[in-house]
Amino acid sequence: MKQLIKHSSITILVLALILAAGAGVFVYSGIYNIGADDHHTRPVFAVLQTLRERSIHVRSEHIKVPNLDNPQLILKKACIHSPRISRRCTWIRRMRSGSSSTASR
């Protein structure tokens, strides 16, 4: 019985190594076109979708979502991300701080 377990373990290990080596050769060869402009086969698409969704889920579990209806938060983020709004934001900040100097614009 011990001999059977030993031979089975060795056989499984050798097969796993052969599969890993084959996967490595496949990946390194560049045979499969992974580009975004080429459609994937259904199994590859399913794996990529699962990988993406699980990755997002695992990393977003501990993120606290802010109150997105807060107008102050909206203005603050708009000032950071919009070049068109940034001049207005600078003016609003100056007015709030009491500095009404227009020479520094």
Stretch 78-92: mean pLDDT, rounded? 63
Query: Does residue 56 fall inside a structural domain?
Result: no
Q: What is the count of structural domains for the chain?
A: 2
Give the pLDDT confidence score for residue 80 in this predicted structure: 63
Query: Does residue 54 fall inside a structural domain?
Result: no
Give the percent of the chain with pLDDT over 90: 35
Query: Does residue 93 fall inside a structural domain?
Result: yes
Query: Does residue 61 fall inside a structural domain?
Result: no
Query: Does residue 91 fall inside a structural domain?
Result: yes
Query: What own/partner pairs with CB < 8 Å and gap ≥ 24 does 30-37 have?
Result: none
pTM to 2 decimals? 0.45
Task: Give the pLDDT band of residue 85 (cuts 50, 70, 90).
Answer: low
Query: Does residue 77 fall inside a structural domain?
Result: yes
Task: Give the pLDDT band of residue 82 (cuts 50, 70, 90).
Answer: low
pLDDT at 79 over 80: no
Query: Does residue 28 fall inside a structural domain?
Result: yes
Question: What's the rounded Cα separation, in Å, for the pair 24 and 28?
Answer: 6
Question: What's the rounded Cα separation, in Å, for the pair 81 and 75?
Answer: 10
Task: Give the pLDDT band of residue 105 (cuts 50, 70, 90).
Answer: very low
| Model confidence pLDDT, tens digit, residues 38-64 | 888 899 889 989 999 999 999 998 888
Q: How would you class 40 by CB atoms within 10 Å of its CB: exposed for 0-12, middle for 13-18, buried for 19 or more? A: middle
Query: Does residue 7 fall inside a structural domain?
Result: yes
Residue ranges making up the domain that contains 16? 1-33
Contacts of 98 (CB under 8 A, 6+ apart): none
